[in-house]
Amino acid sequence: MNIKIIGVGKLKEKYLKQGIAEYAKRLGKFCKFEIVEVPDEKAPEKLSAAEMEGVKEKEGERILAKIRDKEYVYALAIEGKERSSEEFAQEIAQLTTYGRSDITFVIGGSLGLSPAVLKRAETKISFGRFTLPHQLMRLVLSEQIYRAFMINNGSPYHK
């Protein structure tokens, strides 16, 4: 099984890198886990709606270039469906049961994901209505993926 997280922008914070590295190490016994960073589009603070769409489109092209046809894609989006950890674990288990062993999660930049990326995704997932930094989402998502494997293996990790 291959699990990939595609994130926009370079992760700079040491504590986030350390947390993700810990979960990547733990996930190593269950799957091949990788994080792919695509460059964010440099943009001024104040953007028009058209400029925002342009930024998302350029970032979206970079994201789509990292996704292969056979990959099952989850887009992290505020309008996505919220799931419990148990529901998420069950989804992962079902995907693998039906031969979908290449799963990719996409985390957009600060402006979100382009329509093209959202269209490519088989499903949208939301972690609630909170606004969280996209860099922090990499850590949260890594932990939830690990938790899903632990649930599916009957581990007491998930309480």
Judged against a pLDDT cut of 90, whether residue 131 lies above it is answered with no
- Over residues 1-15, the pLDDT tens digits come to 999 999 999 999 999
- Residues 6 or more apart in contact with residue 103 via CB below 8 angstroms: 1, 2, 3, 4, 71, 72, 74, 92, 95
User: Does the annotation list 99 as a binding residue?
Assistant: no
Q: Which value, in Å, is the radius of gyration of the alpha carbons in the chain?
A: 16
Query: What is the amino acid identity at position 87?
Result: E
pTM of the entire predicted model: 0.96
Q: Are the C-beta atoms of residues 40 and 59 closer than 8 Å to each other? A: yes
- Over residues 64-111, the pLDDT tens digits come to 999 999 999 999 999 999 999 999 999 999 999 999 999 999 999 989
On the CB side of 64, CA atoms within 13 Å amount to: 15
- Residues 6 or more apart in contact with residue 29 via CB below 8 angstroms: none
Domains and CATH numbers, the chain: 2-39+51-152 (3.40.1280.10)
User: Does the annotation list 19 as a binding residue?
Assistant: no
